[in-house]
A and B are shown apart, each in its own frame.
Chain A
Amino acid sequence: MGSLKRYVVKRLLQTLVILIGISAITFFLSRVAPSDPAALWVGLHARAEQIEKARKELGLDKPLHIQYLIYMRDLIGGRWGTSYRTRRPVIEDIINYLPASMELAIAGQIIASLVGIPLGVIAASKKDKKIDHASRLFGILTVSIPSFWIALMLQIFFSRTLGLLPLEGRLSSNVARMNPIERVTGFYLVDSLLTGNFVAFPDALLHIILPALALASYSMGLSLRMTRSTMIEVLREKYIVTARAFGIPENTIKFRYALKNAIIPTLTVLGIVFGWSLTGVFLVEVVFNWPGLGTYTWRAILAVDYPVIVAVSIIAALIIVIINLILDLTQVYLDPRVRL
């Protein structure tokens, strides 16, 4: 187990290096921007002297590396800056908007998994038969759909033509006024149930359906393809065939050998797909005016809101890196071959 510890430590150190690298990249990128946040901070008809003053106040007149050091120091200390656009601490904004994005990503993930994984397994088990071809085609087609376009099409069809589902947002304005959801986790579906708000729950549910579907359209195909290929790999592995040939009981094969090895790639599937969702969420949020991190970041980018851009990049990278780390560590734990 000593080598496991060493591996874990090594990976953690590498993760740290990666995170520092990301923070440096984002920081310097944002400082290189061809626009002046000091000017934005002050306002549209500002005078030159006011802009200069703001630049000093915001610390933008110091040399770049000093700015970076100050920034890193604040970052570690939990002071992630104030958004130039909303004038609120970035951390506060992120806490406000993150649950919305996560709820959407998870909802999309659930739909995608419920469709993609079983289909992928079926396709694998009936390989090369009609069902396999059909499923694979389905997988490839769904991956080719532009998420923002399908979002608009869903809006047109379900909202405009059929009038069944709401056009955008997380909650209808009426419900938001009359039966506001008390915040516990920030997940509307969870919170409304937890606080017994049975007016808001169906409303929130109706609102999340279309965006989650739009999001799931891509992940569905991805899940399907990857599940299928990993299943095929596992089923074909020589050791399975050999084990069977040797007359080892089927159950033992399933639980001790096949399952363990099927989990690893499936976890990777999960990680990759979820990681993708975090970026896929972006476009869908914009179309549905979903008040999540995606819309927040997009507006920040357009407004050259440095603190937000850097903070969100680091957080998003952090999430992905952590997920990868967990996946890698689980993989190492389960499969001794992978250890370096």
Chain B
Amino acid sequence: MSTTPARVHLDGVTKRFADVTALEQVDLDVADGEFIALLGPSGCGKTTLLRIVAGFERPTAGRVVLGGDDVTTTPAHRRPVNMVFQRPTLFPHLDVAGNVAFGPRISRLHRDEIRRSVDEALALVRLDGYQHRRSHELSGGQMQRVALARAIVNRPQVLLLDEPLSALDLKIRLEMEVELRRLHREIGGTFIYVTHDQREALALSDRVVVFNEGRIEQVGTPNEVYREPRSPFVARFVGDANVLPVEVRNDGTVTIGEARVPVTASGTAGAAWLVLRPEVVRVEPVDGGDGVRGVVHDVSFRGTGHSYRIAVPGLAEPLKAEVPGVTDHHALGTDVSVRWDPAASRVLPRSGGD
């Protein structure tokens, strides 16, 4: 990533609204052709950042550089970026072709050229033949495809997507995810995708930027962010996780319930968070071994396996466990032994305030 120059370079971007700080010193480089997801809970500043890149908001401090040009003070209409909004906002007075042709018409292209690029863009979003439909004749998914075509027809340097699937039904949303990945491959553009849905972010993007309270918590590939969360916030927000407060001893073990279990902390003793993904937790019959003892508090069938909640004495919350396979099923109230591979767990430092 260091070899190609950044398509988008954000340098200390800060945004304050009256007395609220929406973004605090955000630095981020997006490489050419990259599909990057800005992930975070609502109100974390991710949409504000997208609107700053689009030019709808001006940062209180910091710089926005697009393809080497500082565009911090450039108005939205002169930026080589296009945005797809959360709600499908088609111009109601124009048909599908008119909507898609809006940008090309401003560029004063020749009429045949406009028609050709509109047809191309509609073919890319698989809406060829819909040129003369009106927005009220389209489904939500189709409207959002038109909005996509309307944005990509201008061949933007960066395509900005502000939770474009959140207003759609689950089934359409999953179809559109496949479409977005295909579209990204076919046009090879740079995509910045804002979402609060961690599943969507992991499934779609090359890199995920996790936001919390106006700051970047972690940047990494979906795999890194999921497997090596750098903070309890990321661990809890990306995927499901058991985040347990523990005291690491000098020999690298911790006490959970009545059991003493090894963790992979490299000699760092003291207060820590132990992050355990539910799918690494094994639930076994009690055998007198060294597992953590608990009682099945809740069990539900998930098709591919069972979801457990195991009450462990001394833990405030029951442990979550996802166990694949349909044969070994522990009934509610059964005493069980819980184990995991220490290499699959993760220990994060914990300061007193956490």
Partners in one complex: no
